[in-house]
Amino acid sequence: MTWTSLNAWVAAPEIFLFCATCAILLLDLFVSDAKRGFTHWLSLAVLVVTGALLVRGYHAAPQYAFSHMFVADPLATLAKVGMVVGVALVLIYGRSYAADRGIFKGELYSLALFSLLGMMVMASAINLLTLYVGLELLSLSLYALVALRRDSVESTEAAMKYFVLGALASGMLLYGMSMLYGATASLNVLEISQRLMVEQSGNPLLATFGLVFVVTGIAFKLGAVPFHMWVPDVYQGAPTPITQLIGSAPKLAAFAFTIRLLAQAMEGFTPEWRSMLVVLAVLSLAIGNLTAIAQTNIKRMFAYSTISHMGFLLLGILVGNVVGYSAAFFYAVTYMLTAAAGFGVVMLLARQGFEADRLDDYKGLARTHPWFAGMLLLVMFSMAGVPVFVGFFAKLAVLKAVVDLGMVWLAVFAVAMSLIGAFYYLRVVKLMYFDEPEGAAAPLSGCMFTRVVLSLNCLALLGIGLFPNDLLLLLTNAVEFSLPI
């Protein structure tokens, strides 16, 4: 077996990222705390190069590597570009936050980059083993990142919860995968699909059992109800940059992962998993939105709001056709941008000894910092799904797919839940704009570069909302090219 027959160039971005991360890990040993900025910029440079490699390697036709263990199709490539952007935003927004709290260290960067590598492998995996390896690389990096503030009780507790529940879910998933293997005698996603659907040679009962466990694992990773218990605690306990990391890019990985497992491997079982996802989606929308109302901590509020957004994402996926998958893909990409912007503002307001995570910390923000209050306003209205922000078009795309399937009641339910969601997003706007500030204006953290990037990120929510066509078309095409019908 030679280099060429492995077709390893298909995985060039991952290989580069891996080597560069190892290099950063080593180089950082020689960097003093005062010069940590070097690691920061080097990591960003690595992300830029990875992104460039991804864009350069974009092909409409799926390309396989490592004997069908790994695939680079448009869906994976675009998802990976999204992840690179997401992680880059985490590093940019989180820098001063991390510096203020003594976690501005090499570990933060190497672990974040390793988690990105895990996500990228997840998106490109076409074999259950590769999928699992990617997932574990992501999860283990995240567990460690959550616990990065070793002296913080909340962080440690969050990390412990995340680890225990995450390990359990991974176990479930692995168990489900083993059943799929038992049913079809294959670990390759495409072969599983082939055996179950075309040849009808697999054992359908065993495969259905496996499906239940696989869906459980997926629901846990997405944070869908009733497997959502870890989400609020981890969101609140983790340092904010890590919360942003958990809340943004991995959602794209989880989306790609779901597509591989459900839309590709279990394509023949669409009615079965659809009914499971309906339950998950309905519960996530209801419980996510209702519980978010009661929150007084903005990170916890975002956690429940994420749960409800994952409900919408699942609505798109459960449609089970290209229209639905592209709607869900669009939802995942735009949600990633929106969540990143939201956490970015939280971190901008945080400073040494002050987390800016209570909702009351946002009182009168429009007075003290009008520009960033305006930016958070965009984020809130986008999350609430008010036009003309991008969140509206994401919801429209999903609703359109759901109505096309004939499940109008589900669409009505989803919009009713968005109405409840609008309430708590509006409350943040109310605090910022209608209330008087408590005390004097606090200075913003973060350098000019951070602020500019954050502003561009927020304005992108409006910009993509005004002109959503190109992104929609790109993602729809990607899904069409990647899922042969």
Residue numbers at the binding site for other proteins (CB under 8 A): 370, 381, 386-388, 392-393, 396-397, 399-400, 403-404, 408, 411-412, 415-416, 418-419, 422-423, 426-427, 429-430, 433-434, 468-469, 472-473, 476
Q: In angstroms, rounded to a whole number, what is the distance separating the alpha carbons of residues 393 and 399? A: 10
**The length of the chain, given as a count of residues:** 485
CB closer to other proteins out of 68 and 400: 400
Shortest distance, CB of residue 367 to other proteins, whole angstroms? 9
CB closer to other proteins out of 351 and 400: 400
Q: Does 468 sit behind a cis peptide bond, omega within 30 degrees of 0 on the bond before it?
A: no
Kindly give the interhelix angle for 249-258 and 128-146, rounded to the nearest 10 degrees: 160
CB closer to other proteins out of 26 and 408: 408
CB closer to other proteins out of 189 and 373: 373
Q: In angstroms, rounded to a whole number, what is the distance separating the alpha carbons of residues 286 and 418? A: 9
Shortest distance, CB of residue 305 to other proteins, whole angstroms? 16
Q: Produce one character per residue of 318-349: b if its CB has 16 or more CB atoms within 10 Å, e if not.
A: bbbbbbbbbbbbbbbbbbbbbbbbbbbbbbbb
Q: Does 388 sit behind a cis peptide bond, omega within 30 degrees of 0 on the bond before it?
A: yes
User: Could you tell me which of 157, 310, 116 has the C-alpha nearest to residue 227?
Assistant: 310
CB closer to other proteins out of 20 and 375: 375
What sign for the dihedral angle of Cα 57, 48, 108, 379? negative
Shortest distance, CB of residue 394 to other proteins, whole angstroms? 12
Contact between 307 and 220 under an 8 Å Cβ cutoff? The reply is: no
Shortest distance, CB of residue 223 to other proteins, whole angstroms? 24
Shortest distance, CB of residue 204 to other proteins, whole angstroms? 33
Radius of gyration of the chain (CA): 21
CB closer to other proteins out of 147 and 475: 475
Shortest distance, CB of residue 319 to other proteins, whole angstroms? 13
CB closer to other proteins out of 294 and 415: 415
Shortest distance, CB of residue 164 to other proteins, whole angstroms? 39
User: Could you tell me which of 52, 53, 51 has the C-alpha nearest to residue 83?
Assistant: 51
